[in-house]
Amino acid sequence: MKDKLKILENLLKNHDWFHQYSDDFGVYESGQEEWYKINATMKALENDGFGKEADELYKKYLPEALKYEEDND
């Protein structure tokens, strides 16, 4: 399972988080493919009981500009 977590971390670390804003369709398409791999890997980890670890990695690499504050009221 550590292999899958390492794969996820590598995908997140190297992902172009802003690919959807590119004027270059190749950049957009590549980013989408990466995004699908990230989602599939996270789902596999969740199914194997490692959802919390996957979420922690996601939060670690998610750029500040894409984070939102949760309303705790």
Q: What is the mean pLDDT of residues 51-62?
A: 96
pLDDT of residue 70: 58
Widest Cα–Cα separation across the chain? 42
Is the dihedral angle over the CA atoms 56, 28, 40, 69 positive or is it negative?
Answer: positive
Q: What is the mean pLDDT of residues 33-46?
A: 97
Is the dihedral angle over the CA atoms 29, 31, 34, 36 positive or is it negative?
Answer: negative
Span 5-16, pLDDT tens digits: 999 999 999 999
